[in-house]
A and B are shown apart, each in its own frame.
Chain A
Amino acid sequence: MRVVRTFWLAIVLAWVVLMGVAQAQVTFTYLAGQEIPTIDPAKHTDETSLHGVINLYDPLIYPRVSQGSMAPGPHVAESWRVDPDGRTYTFKIRRGIKFHDGTELTADDVVFSMQRMLALKKGFSWLWLNLLDPKDVRALDRNTVQFRLSQPFAPFLSTLTQLFVVNKKLVLANKKAGPYGDNGDYGEAYLTNAAAGSGPFQLSSYERSTILELKRFPDYWRGWKPGQIERVVYRVVKEEATMRTLLTSGQADMIDQWRTPVTYEQLAKAPGVVVDEKPSAQLFHIQMNTQRTPLNNIHVRKAIAMAFDYDTAIKQIFRGAIQARGPVPLAAWESYDISSKDLDKYGIVAYKYDLEGAKKELQLSGFMPGQIQLNYVFPEGGNLQRQAGLLLQSRLNQLGIKLNLQELPWVRIVEMSASEASTPDLAAIYDTLKYPHPDSHTYGMYHPSAWGSYRTISRYSYPVVTALLERARRATDPEKQMELYLQATGLVVKDYPSIYVANPMHRIALRDNVKGYRYVGLLGYDVAFYDFTVSR
């Protein structure tokens, strides 16, 4: 009898222990609405791929997320030096970082990773293709890397948040025949379904259209604390209603940022769910082609900008967004400690709706009501862009300006922007920071060398601004650099090349037992699972 009792007691104890272990393992389920096209750190461009890459690999430079900033901070590079010429960057590589196969990360791996990006010409390689020659990326010793740029480029450090370090030895051991000489295919085939990183998580399984499963890398160099995630299930769920059902029923912990505002409003009311809201590092603006009559007349541009009803747009179309102050999203300025007062000082202010003022500006322009007819293009399916267009159309009618709305495939808008002849009059564009630096939305939008992109439909050119932006890129003193960007931005704002409408809200829905989520405005970096803790 006693034996039987002991047996059952042992069974119950074993069950309790097993359940305890099962409970203790923290699994996190994230739902994304789009597929995960790639987990190769030389190919990623979109958010879901970036999520995979950020969790599997370590970037050379990491944004200072824990300080609420997107400014560059140390990571694989523990320190760096910029030479006075603004072209030579020397990085000290942190010792003791291990790849998932146990080999140590060295300067050689960093050089290999950058050269691989430049050779494959995919993903974020466009950031460096015109700036770096593969031979100008060198390992000075086991823990020192040097990059010599072809020209000064102030935001270079910020762009390195997109340089993820791959395990050279592992990649070359798995290379296949390819067009890159001794490097074969540079491991392109291998890294399609495998990972060669040193990030906090190792790859368990990956199926681009359905799932990415990750497990904790025990030897991760930053160490682990209790409550951090051990296993990640990153699922692709394309139907919004399904996402809602999974999150509210507790079968998922977080859903992505691409749902409609109404969905987040509903989710915020669901028990156990919270919605994190912050202004995004994104600009919604209506670009005006400054090279074409009548938009080459500043009074016409100013009249159009003054005829836009900003309050209505913010309240009814962009629901809770903040009004843009010039081209650079406020979150980007804030990351470099630039306050609203600083922006005021340089004339970087929000435009105001003033229909009477607009009429006066139109009189000054020399154009009569009824003389102006313009096209407004927006991407297919862009409902908010359509609504903003209708709002502008209704107000411009009162000025006697006819606005024709044209919905076009996104690729068509990109193609039209390539040449001056086909660039539209006005275009409604969402523009996210391309790298965490004001340069993205100043030089990248208002320097004539950038013309030909959907980002430069305004085709703005003002020699003073051009010179300021060039000086800013060359400046090595961070304070002087920011001052030059502020001066250039202030001049741009006064010239009305765009109707700067909004920095829309970034929203994400998560279970209330998830802690550590922090959005600083940089795409993808808010979903670094290492930062999260979950209490079950």
Chain B
Amino acid sequence: MGAHEFAIRRLVQLVPTLLGLLVLIFLIARVMPGDPVRLALGPEATAEQVAALRNQLGLDQPLPVQFINYLIGLVRGDFGVSLRTLRGVGSDIAGLLPATLELVTVSLLFSILLGVTAGIFSALYQNSWVDNLVRLTSISGVALPRFWVGILFQIFLASKLGLFPIIGRAAAPIHGPTGFYTLDALLAGNLPGFFDSLWHLVLPALTLALPTAAQLARLSRASMIEVLRQQYVLVHRAYGVPTSRLVLRYALRNSLTSVLTLLGLSFGSLIENAFLVEVVFSWPGISAYGAAAVLAKDFNAVVAVTLIVGLAFMLANLIVDLLYGVLDPRVRYD
């Protein structure tokens, strides 16, 4: 089976998986205790007000009817109305998703850059002080809570030293087709805007990246040590191939398979874990929106955010599966 055929088959398989996820989360969101309509309108709302909103949102209908209506809406791209914002969930998410995706993408880049580099050096200088430092730092990176690291960054790097802004995405909103401030600024030729949004991105992205970078460092160190022990590496060494070339050209590529698996899983979990970072840095993203939706029992928003995170997980894993073949031609798609 070719890569194209494999990709199409996997994309088709996404549909029943997403449908299963939808049924599950739709039911869970609706059986959560407490009346979300009353929560939305506040405790002073009269019974008449509650009944009017329940009717307006179709929540006075039986559950199967609600599900079918939701499904029909979904096919049309309508995620329903948010009980918390009283606006379309679709438009809420459209405004927030780019911010999270931009944050997560830059975090992932930071993770790869920091984690894989540290892993390689750690493996090359095994049992030296470099290795010990990387191992110690990576344990701390996994163990320290993200929100706490974020607050420390804010206090020392932003407030005390004034190197970075404390909160926000940019000094002024940047409007454009992608919703990614950095990209939109570049597309508009707005260089100050690009640097400003990049400057705002550093601390939140770094905070979010650290645990993933730490995991990547540990994993790439182990993979690299294993690869460096392979006979073909020893042969290349014997032929006098320089270490840098040996690592970058041969060993790195072969050690990346397990790293790639972790990256695939990390993308989805970064969206999920972005919540605390978004809260600390007042980053207007979908993760904080999803968390607020759960607290407010805003079930349409909960369902939509879960579907999006689920879809991100599935797509990231599909891309990883396809990349296995690029890294290792022996891999067969079936």
Contacts and interface: CB of A to CB of B under 8 A. Distances in A.
Decide if A and B are genuine partners: yes
Interface in A435-461: 453-454
Interface string B18-36: 0000000000000001111
A209 interface: yes
Contacts of B158: 245
B279 A239 contact: yes
- Band of interface residues on B: 35 or more
A266 B289 CA distance: 30
A126 B49 CA distance: 8
A121 B44 CA distance: 12
A236 B282 contact: yes
Contacts of A121: 46, 48-49, 52
A300 B83 CA distance: 43
Contacts of A410: 34, 39, 43
A241 B150 CA distance: 10
Contacts of A364: none
A35 interface: yes
A134 B45 CA distance: 19
Nearest to B173: A205
Given A209-B288, A235-B167, A245-B158, A412 B48 contact: no
A246 B167 contact: yes
Contacts of B52: 121
A412 B34 contact: yes
A159 B50 CA distance: 21
A237 B86 contact: no
A467 interface: no
B154 A245 contact: yes
B42 A37 contact: no
A246 B44 CA distance: 34
B194 interface: no
Nearest to A130: B46
Interface in B276-294: 279-282, 284, 288-289, 292
Contacts of B292: 35
A117 to B, nearest CB: 12
Contacts of B159: 245, 248-249
A35 B45 CA distance: 20
Contacts of A241: 151, 154-155, 280
Interface string A309-339: 0000000000000000000000000000000
B87 interface: yes
Interface in A247-262: 248-249, 251
Contacts of A245: 151, 154-155, 158-159, 166
B282 A210 contact: yes
Interface in B291-333: 292, 297
A207 B48 CA distance: 30
A141 interface: no
Contact of A242 (B34, B36, B95, B166): B166
Nearest to B151: A241
Interface in B49-92: 49, 52, 84-87
Contacts, number: 99
Given A129-B48, A414-B43, A415-B38, A207 B284 contact: yes
B202 interface: no
Nearest to B41: A122
Interface in A481-514: none
B96 interface: yes
Interface string B261-289: 00000000000000000011110100011
Nearest to B87: A192
Contacts of A248: 159
Contacts of A69: none
A43 B49 CA distance: 12
A372 B45 CA distance: 35
A88 interface: no
B180 interface: no
Contacts of A210: 168, 282, 284
B110 interface: no
Contacts of A38: 86
A246 B167 CA distance: 9
Nearest to A417: B43
A43 B297 CA distance: 19
B147 interface: yes
B195 to A, nearest CB: 20
A238 B284 contact: no
Nearest to A208: B85
Nearest to A205: B173
B211 to A, nearest CB: 18
A184 interface: no
Contacts of A415: 34-35, 38
A237 B282 contact: yes
Given A192-B87, A237-B167, A242 B280 contact: yes
A207 B35 CA distance: 27
A209 B284 contact: yes
A239 B147 CA distance: 9
A409 interface: yes
Contacts of B34: 409-412, 415
A352 B282 CA distance: 46
B48 A209 contact: no
A381 B110 CA distance: 36
B43 A249 contact: no
A209 B86 contact: no
Contact of B35 (A126, A208, A251, A411): A411
Interface string A96-139: 00000000000000000000000001100110011000000000
Interface string A512-524: 0000000000000
A45 interface: yes
Contacts of A43: 86
A414 B148 CA distance: 35
A238 B279 CA distance: 6
Given A209-B284, A210-B282, A126 B151 contact: no
A434 interface: yes
Contacts of B151: 239, 241-242, 245
Contacts of A122: 41, 49
A454 B168 CA distance: 38
Contacts of A239: 147, 151, 279-280, 282
A245 B42 CA distance: 32
A174 B167 CA distance: 35
A415 B37 CA distance: 12
A121 B87 CA distance: 17
A415 B38 CA distance: 9
A249 B166 contact: yes
Nearest to A34: B292
Smallest CB-CB A-B distances: 9 pairs: A411-B34, A210-B284, A241-B151, A238-B279, A239-B280, A45-B42, A249-B159, A409-B34, A121-B49
18 contacts: A37-B85, A38-B86, A45-B44, A121-B52, A130-B46, A205-B173, A209-B288, A210-B282, A239-B282, A242-B282, A245-B158, A245-B166, A409-B33, A411-B33, A412-B33, A412-B34, A414-B35, A414-B38
Given A242-B280, A414-B35, A415-B35, 5 more contacts: A37-B85, A37-B86, A210-B284, A235-B168, A411-B35
